[in-house]
Structure 1
Amino acid sequence: MLSIHSTSVELEGVPTEIMVQGFADRILVLVTQLGKVGNLIQASIPSTTPLLSADLDEDSTNGLPAPPAAIQLTPLLGGASSEHLQTLHSLYAAQIATIIWVEEAKKMAVNRRSVVVGIALHRDADERNTFHGVMNHLYRLVK
């Protein structure tokens, strides 16, 4: 995934930009409804940590692969204004990274790169619908 993949969609009535760019050592994913990078979080897991089978997506209740327990989230830039938003941003980072890792594994990628996620979301949007909308569109970008 060396090229830039991006899409612009409307989620809960709010224009939302999703961009994925691969680099040699990591992958950058930006999700913004505010036109800026927002809070940057790096997600990584040891290369020896097994990912759950890609077949899990079909069995999972929400259609998303479960993030591995060994995932490490590191804040890089910015911060959430509340504990709730910090938890929400961590959830986005963990889920986005897991989707990237599962899709790269399907493509037989040898190295498991860290994923840096930038998140800048409107506070008024329905969190659950926005989350699932972002993940669905991310899947379309990386498949």
Structure 2
Amino acid sequence: MATENADYTVTPTPYPATTKSSSTDISSISTTAKTHYFADKILITITQNGKLAHWVHVPLDISQTDGSLTSNPYLEQDDDVPSSELLPIHHLTATTILGGTVPELEVLGQTLATQIASVIVQRDEREKRMVVIGMGLEKSMSGREEFSELVGLVLGVL
């Protein structure tokens, strides 16, 4: 016997999930980025040498109780101040959910995830899906140039 719940809503979504992929060499290491757009999550993987060792998530949906994080009059953009579009949005927080045992790569992963989530929100401020990012990066990726190339690769598949 199945019971129906009037609060339950079915959201039709395309099947299979929309997927995009791109590969390039970063510091002579083959790097692949893939995105999978699900109804409730955006899954992004960034792999090198076929590994996935660190998973983080970034919630984009800020509840009404946290409205002060997004509507602070002191944080409004002043016309005389240069644009900060390339900086991560201050209220987005990346949290490690699996892996992340190498400190250099954990910081890299959380910073990369926050930057990517910020770009997603800047492209569509109505986007509320959780961003989940799986990474398998070499330690050599923690440099500024490598970070920029990683972000660029992911931007190509968003």
33, 49, 65: which one pairs with 1:34? Answer: 49
Q: What is the one-letter code of the residue matched to 1:95?
A: Q
Letter in 1 for 2:32: E
Native 8 Å contact 2:54 2:106 kept in 1: no
The match for 1:100 among 120, 130, 137 is 120
Aligned to 1:44: 59
Q: Tell me, which stretches of 5 or more residues in structure 2 are unaligned?
A: 1-13
Between the aligned partners of 1:89 and 1:8, the Cα distance in structure 2 is: 18
> Counterparts of 2:57 and 2:28 in 1: how far apart (Å)?
28
**Can you list the C-alpha shifts for 1:20-42, whole angstroms capped at 9, x where unaligned?**
11111110111111312220000
Aligned twin of 2:136: 120
2: CA distance between counterparts of 1:99 and 1:28?
A: 15
Alpha-carbon RMSD across the aligned residues, in angstroms, is 2.6
Question: 1:137 Cα shift?
Answer: 2.1
- Identical positions, percent: 26
**1:1-143 maps to which residues of 2 (within 5 A)?**
2-45=17-60, 46=62, 49=70, 59-60=83-84, 65-82=86-103, 84-105=104-125, 110-125=126-141, 127-142=143-158
Q: In structure 2, what is the Cα distance between the partners aligned to 1:65 and 1:113?
A: 21
Q: How many residues align?
A: 129
Q: Pick the structure with greater CA Rg.
A: 2
Give the aligned partner of residue 4 of structure 2: none
With the length of structure 2 as denominator, give the TM-score of the two structures. 0.70
Q: Is the 8 A contact 2:22 2:32 kept in 1?
A: yes
1:17 Cα offset (Å): 0.4
> How far did residue 138 of structure 1 move?
1.9
